[in-house]
């Protein structure tokens, strides 16, 4: 049943009263995304799960007790879903290190996965947001100074330049076709997670916006998402859909500049080759779990416009095989190919070699999974996380042999700009 009223007001009350809660925020809805907010909260006896990749431990939290119940968050969540009712809904995230069989550095700050099963859920309807075609003072990268450093955001710092150079060596050696190179930023802020999220959703509305709070001793996590990218949707007909983003430009400072930026994104060979490589990777990923002949690409390289960026988006779709569960499919696709590069395994090995900071929840997946097999999760990008102290965010972009280091560094800066603005005192 849909509740009337402002979900932000309800969120403020619920978040203050309940240590474990979640808001999947439909305020940035597009024609392809949900238009409803879901706010859920847990009673003391309700179940949540957390995963520590360093220890390889999944912990079950309920009734004030925390018990280790397994070593694979996908398998434990699958078991919980199988033991529950078809109407049960779980909300949470899988961080980048959630698959122990793939190379990834555990998160030293937050659990590598958190999943909640609320016994209370409210839903709110939202109006559809067509496109953020208005310009709201978005600075272009050649004019904007990095708000968290004293230098020009066009100048790559030595660690990034060195990582970029090593990536180029691997690309020229044929070890990868594309590498998504990222780094982590830390930000001190006096703002509470709830206050920061309300600012973030106003600054950067997005179809996979949301807030997760798991305020449990030893497993604290807050995740504040404004992600525009679909990781996976599984509908009632067992159709699996992904919408990879690869190719991003900043918005122009005038309508004419903005249209030129949009046109460049749509036609530039570098952006198009980046997107095509990830589409091919995802066609292969979906083919592992979908019926033969069902995998298709109904949309190739469409431009979507958001508050601060234009992005090149494709859609890859297929029907799950009868022997593949929803969680099994989510695991097989994990992590999103747009956040690794191609081929996935070898490229993740390169990422582990060159990135100086762990990714944590960044590059993972955040959303909901239902006991009846439906699911809808976004890729964890444009997202802040905290364990209650400073805020952490990841930013990056796809590197090919045609990439320029200064351009790629600038892209990481304007991707992070709205997140930094949200927690700026």
Q: State the pLDDT at residue 307.
A: 84
Q: Compute CA distances 322 → 239, 325, 333, 373, whole Å.
A: 11, 8, 17, 12
Q: Catalytic residue at 143? A: no
Please state the pTM of the whole predicted model: 0.93
pLDDT in tens, the chain (425 residues): 678 778 999 999 999 999 999 999 998 888 888 788 999 999 999 999 999 999 999 999 999 999 999 999 999 999 999 999 999 999 999 999 999 999 999 999 999 999 999 999 999 998 776 655 444 444 343 333 333 333 455 789 999 999 999 999 999 999 999 999 999 999 999 999 999 999 999 999 999 999 999 999 999 999 999 999 999 999 999 999 999 999 999 999 899 999 999 999 999 999 999 999 999 999 999 999 999 999 999 999 999 998 888 999 999 999 999 999 999 999 999 999 999 999 999 999 999 999 999 999 999 999 999 999 999 999 999 999 999 989 999 999 999 999 999 999 999 999 999 999 999 98
Tell me phi and psi for residue 132, to 5 degrees.
-90, 70
Residue with tokens 């589409």: 279
The answer to whether the beta carbons of residues 115 and 35 sit under 8 Å apart is no
Q: State the pLDDT at residue 29.
A: 83
Nearest to 38 by CA among 158, 126, 138: 126
Q: State the pLDDT at residue 353.
A: 98
As given in the structure block, the two tokens for residue 161 are 């330049």
Residue 303 CB partners (closer than 8 Å, separation 6+): 262, 265, 266, 310, 311, 312, 313
Q: What is the DSSP string of 94-133?
A: E-TT--TTS--PPPSSS-SEEEE--SEEEEEE-PPP----
Q: State the pLDDT at residue 140.
A: 40
Q: What is the DSSP string of 350-396?
A: HHHHH-SS--TTTTSEEEEEETTS-EEEEE--SEEEESSSSEEEEEE
Neighbours of 284 (CB within 10 A): 15
Residue 284 CB partners (closer than 8 Å, separation 6+): none
Q: State the pLDDT at residue 6.
A: 86
Domain ranges of the chain: 7-423
Choice among 78, 178, 229, 304 that is catalytic: 229
**Rounded distance between C-alpha atoms, residue 154 and residue 140, angstroms:** 11
DSSP 156: -
Q: State the pLDDT at residue 139.
A: 39
Q: State the pLDDT at residue 298.
A: 97
Choice among 246, 331, 344, 415 that is catalytic: 246
The class level of CATH for 7-423 reads: alpha beta
């Amino acid at each position: 049943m849909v509740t009337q009223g402002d979900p932000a007001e309800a969120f403020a009350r619920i978040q203050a009263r309940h240590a474990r809660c979640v808001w999947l925020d439909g305020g940035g809805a597009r024609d392809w995304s949900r238009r409803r907010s879901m706010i859920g909260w847990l009673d003391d006896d309700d179940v949540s799960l957390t995963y520590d990749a360093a220890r390889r431990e999944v912990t079950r939290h309920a009734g004030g007790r925390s018990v280790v119940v397994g070593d694979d968050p996908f398998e434990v969540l699958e078991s919980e879903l199988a033991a529950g009712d078809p109407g049960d809904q779980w909300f949470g995230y899988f961080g980048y290190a959630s698959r122990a069989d793939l190379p990834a550095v555990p998160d030293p700050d937050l659990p590598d996965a958190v999943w909640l099963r609320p016994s209370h859920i409210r839903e709110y309807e939202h109006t559809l947001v067509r496109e953020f075609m208005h310009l709201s003072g978005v600075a272009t990268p050649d004019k904007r100074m990095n708000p968290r450093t004293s230098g020009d955001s066009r100048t790559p710092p030595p660690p990034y330049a060195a990582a970029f150079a090593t990536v180029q060596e691997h690309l020229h050696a044929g070890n990868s076709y594309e590498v998504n190179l990222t780094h982590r930023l830390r930000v001190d802020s006096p703002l509470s997670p709830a206050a920061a999220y309300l600012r973030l959703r106003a600054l950067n509305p997005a179809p996979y916006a949301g807030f997760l709070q798991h305020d449990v001793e030893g497993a604290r996590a807050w995740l504040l998402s404004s992600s525009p990218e679909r990781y996976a949707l599984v509908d009632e007909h067992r159709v699996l859909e992904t919408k990879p983003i690869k190719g991003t430009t900043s918005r122009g400072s005038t309508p004419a500049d903005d249209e030129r930026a949009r046109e460049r994104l749509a036609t530039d060979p570098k952006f198009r080759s980046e997107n095509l490589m990830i589409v091919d990777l995802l066609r292969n990923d979906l083919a592992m779990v979908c019926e033969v002949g069902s995998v298709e690409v109904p949309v190739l390289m469409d431009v979507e416009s958001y508050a601060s960026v234009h992005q090149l988006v494709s859609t890859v779709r297929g029907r799950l095989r009868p022997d593949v569960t929803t969680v099994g499919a989510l695991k097989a696709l994990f992590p999103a190919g747009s956040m690794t590069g191609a081929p996935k395994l070898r490229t993740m090995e390169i990422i582990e070699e060159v990135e100086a900071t762990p990714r944590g929840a960044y590059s993972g997946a955040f959303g909901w999974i239902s006991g009846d097999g439906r699911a809808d999760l976004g890729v964890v990008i444009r997202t802040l996380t905290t364990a209650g102290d400073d805020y952490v965010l990841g930013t990056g972009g796809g590197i090919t042999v045609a990439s320029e280091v200064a351009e790629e560094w600038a892209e990481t800066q304007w991707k992070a700009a709205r997140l930094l603005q949200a927690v700026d005192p």
